[in-house]
Structure formats: C-alpha cells, structure tokens
C-alpha cells in the first residue's frame, strides 16, 4: 500500500492481500475523501448512472434449522412467520415473469434451508432453467452445498450462488452457532469450483464493532478472485429474533461499508441489499455515490418489506439513474 491510502490508480487494480490495518485506513478515511475515491474507482469499472434491479423470491419459507440471530425464518426464534413448503415450479416461474415485466434483470430465489437436500435438486434445477429461459440472470441461496450439487446447479444454468459470511470471523459466533465460518467458506469453494459466480457479503448493524466490519471486508477482499457479487445488507431488525432490538446503525457507517467494499473489490458488483425500507432517499443516494450498483426491487425481500416499485421508480428518476441490464461478471468484463 503506498503512502496515500486512497490513491485511485492503486485502488483500481484488484488485490487480494488486504490487511486489517490497511482496510481500517480506507474505512476510517475522512468521509469526503472516502466517497471521492470510491466514486472515482467505481467509474473505472462500472457505469456511473446505472443500477441493476434484482428481485427476490422466498421459494421455501421459515422453519429453518439454523439459529442465525437476525433471521425471521429460524425455527429457534418466535417471529410469528408462517412456514411453508417448497413452492411449485410454475408459481416460481410466474413470479419471475412478473419481476421481469416490472424491470428486474436478476431473479434470486432463497430457501430457508441449512443445506440443499438431494431430493430437492431436480425442482430447483427446473426453476433455474425456467428463470434463465425468461432472459433473467439467476441466483439462488439454499444453504450449504455439496460439490456434486453445485455442478448440477451450474449445468441448469445458474449464474450466481449467494452464501454470505455475514460478519467478521471474531463476531460470527455471537450471531450464529449452528454452522461455522469455515463451513461457509467450504461451500463458497465448491460454488467457485463448479464455475458458478460467487455472491457473498454480509450484514451491517448487528451490534458489531467497526473492527468487525473491517474484518468482514478483509475476509471478502482476500478471496482470490474476489466474489463477483457482494451484497451489503443493513440489518432488518425482526421482532422475536435476538437482534430484534439491536442498536440502530448510524447511516454514515453503512455508507462507509459500501465505499470500502467498492474500493477493496473494485470490479465486483456491490449490492445495496436488505434494509432500504428504513432508509431515507438521501442515504440511498450516498450508497450509490459510494459505489453500490444493484438494489432489490418489489414490495418484499424474502419475508420483510421493501420500498414500493413506484417509490423506487421516483428515486431513479430524481437521481437520473437508469436500470442496468444484467452486468457481466468481472472475469468476462476483463476479457471484453
């Protein structure tokens, strides 16, 4: 790292040897310097005024065997959420067509599973094939995966697999005890091995320290190659979960996390993910300035509310943003 931590030329080239001290200098830089650098690097690799619209669908809701402290769907927490079985393929495909008609270019299907069961692989593959044939980018998040399952998802046309590290290695067991950090890294390895793009990020606002946020970013930015897609979620505090009354997060800290992700993983698609329902338009605009290039659209995320389509439409108009066609993955962009 050169003397000037925020040197645009240096930061524009992906690197994989980030240390916590270097990352802290980026994360804690004066806010204006941080945002200027993040936007400058963003423009080197991404269209400045385009934001991808992605749509989520919960294909299997609730009753999950994991104890993730933030999650409405864990069987460990009393959240009043009604559990349901795996959705029929035709219903998933009609939701995907609706998402496409309303402007989404990416369709992400989430299941409240600890891990994918072999008996469900055929149905999930049919969903992926169907969504892909609608011309949408496909992403699924189904818990832990075995290597042969990852290969089958790839063969069905899966573009991205989402599996988050969620927080730093140090803070992780304050939030989740039923699977380890290394379990997650192993699944990510299998995803990559199968040739599927990795979608991996975390949550900000779970009571973690600044060092934990920096720790998460270092974990992500030392994966070589970087995750092609990095969702940064703002905690949605769900009543009945252990984090239902977590201390509200300072918006500037959230923007810092987005900007640092952009600078530490310059080619990755950084996604402003959960938590926009509670954010002002101005805070979201700062997230775009910091380098976010995707949002989830539609009135529901998986189980929690998200802004109305009209509200997001007005935000795009007022900021002069255009909806992005599915961006190609960084490796493909590098070859272009």
Could you tell me if 74 and 83 are in contact, meaning their C-beta atoms sit under 8 angstroms apart? no
Give the shortest CB-32-to-ligand SAM separation in angstroms: 28
Separation of alpha carbons 181 and 237, rounded Å? 22
Phi, psi of 140 (to 5 degrees): -130, 155
Q: Kindly give, in sequence order, each residue whose CB lies less than 8 Å from that of residue 8, ignoring residues fewer than 6 positions away.
A: 37, 40, 41, 44
Residue 68 lies near ligand SF4 (rule: CB under 6 A) = yes
Binding mask 111-130 for ligand SF4 (x = CB under 6 A): -x------------------
Catalytic residue of the set 106, 125, 139, 262 = 139
108 binds, options ligand SF4, ligand DTB, ligand SAM, none, Cβ within 5 to 8 A by partner type = ligand DTB
Question: From the list 6, 42, 45, 66, which residue makes contact with ligand SF4 (rule: CB under 6 A)?
Answer: 66
Residue number, 110 or 242, with CB nearest to ligand DTB: 110
User: Residue 227: how many CA atoms within 13 Å on its side-chain side?
Assistant: 31
Separation of alpha carbons 249 and 306, rounded Å? 18
Residue 110 lies near ligand DTB (rule: CB under 6 A) = yes
Residue number, 6 or 73, with CB nearest to ligand SAM: 73
Residue 143 lies near ligand SF4 (rule: CB under 6 A) = yes
Residue 74 lies near ligand SF4 (rule: CB under 6 A) = yes
CA 135 to chain centroid: 21
Q: Kindly give, in sequence order, each residue whose CB lies less than 8 Å from that of residue 198, ignoring residues fewer than 6 positions away.
A: 160, 161, 163, 188, 191, 192, 223, 227, 228, 229
74 binds, options ligand SF4, ligand SAM, ligand DTB, none, Cβ within 5 to 8 A by partner type = ligand SF4
Task: Convert 170-205 into a string of H (helix), E (strand) and C (coil).
Answer: CCHHHHCCCCCHHHHHHHHHHHHHCCCEEECCEEEC
Question: From the list 62, 143, 215, 307, which residue makes contact with ligand SAM (rule: CB under 6 A)?
Answer: 143
Strand, coil or helix: 102: coil
Query: 31-45 vs 251-264: helix axis angle to the nearest 10?
Result: 40
Q: Hey, how many other C-beta atoms are within 10 angstroms of the C-beta on 245?
A: 9
Residue number, 112 or 321, with CB nearest to ligand SF4: 112
Binding mask 147-166 for ligand SAM (x = CB under 6 A): ----------------xx-x
Give the shortest CB-161-to-ligand SAM separation in angstroms: 10
Give which of 286, 246, 218, 230 is closest to 38, Cα–Cα.
286
Strand, coil or helix: 160: strand
- Using CB under 6 A, which of the segments 31-39, 108-116, 308-316, 324-332 binds ligand SAM? 108-116
Question: From the list 69, 201, 205, 266, which residue makes contact with ligand DTB (rule: CB under 6 A)?
Answer: 201
| Residues in touch with ligand DTB (CB under 6 A) | 56, 72, 108, 110, 141, 162, 164, 201, 231, 233, 236, 273-274, 301-304
| Residues in touch with ligand SAM (CB under 6 A) | 70-71, 110, 112-113, 141, 143, 163-164, 166, 203, 233, 235-236, 238, 274, 302
| Residues in touch with ligand SF4 (CB under 6 A) | 64, 66, 68, 71, 73-74, 112, 143
């Amino acid at each position: 790292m050169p003397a000037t931590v925020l040197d645009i030329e240096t930061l524009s080239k992906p690197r994989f040897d980030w240390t916590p001290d270097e990352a802290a200098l980026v994360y804690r830089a004066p806010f204006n310097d941080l945002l200027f650098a993040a936007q400058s690097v963003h423009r080197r690799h991404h269209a400045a005024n385009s934001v991808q619209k992605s749509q989520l669908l919960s294909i299997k809701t609730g009753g999950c065997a994991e104890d993730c402290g933030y999650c409405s769907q864990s069987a460990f927490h009393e959240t009043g959420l009604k559990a349901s079985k795996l959705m029929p393929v035709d219903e998933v495909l009609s939701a995907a067509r609706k998402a496409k008609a309303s402007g989404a270019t990416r369709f992400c299907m989430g299941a409240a599973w600890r891990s994918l069961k072999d008996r469900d692989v055929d149905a999930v593959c049919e969903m992926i094939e169907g969504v892909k044939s609608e011309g949408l980018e496909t992403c699924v998040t189904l818990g832990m995966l075995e290597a042969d399952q990852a290969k089958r998802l790839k063969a069905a046309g899966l573009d991205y697999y989402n599996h988050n590290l969620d927080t730093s290695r140090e803070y992780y067991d304050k939030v989740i005890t039923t699977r380890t950090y290394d379990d997650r890294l192993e699944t990510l390895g299998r995803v990559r091995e199968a040739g599927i793009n990795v979608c991996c990020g975390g949550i900000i606002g779970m009571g973690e320290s600044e060092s934990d946020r920096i720790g998460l970013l270092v974990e992500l930015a030392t994966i070589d190659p970087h995750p092609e897609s990095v969702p940064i979620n703002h905690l949605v505090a769900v009543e009945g979960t252990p984090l239902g009354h977590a201390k509200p997060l300072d918006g500037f800290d959230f923007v810092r996390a987005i900007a640092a992700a952009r600078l530490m993983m310059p080619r990755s698609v950084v996604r402003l993910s959960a938590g926009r329902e509670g954010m002002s338009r101005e805070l979201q605009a700062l997230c775009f300035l910091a380098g976010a290039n995707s949002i989830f659209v539609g009135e529901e995320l998986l189980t929690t509310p998200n802004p109305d389509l009209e509200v997001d439409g007005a935000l795009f108009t007022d900021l002069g943003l255009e909806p992005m066609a599915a961006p190609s993955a960084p490796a493909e962009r590098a070859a272009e």
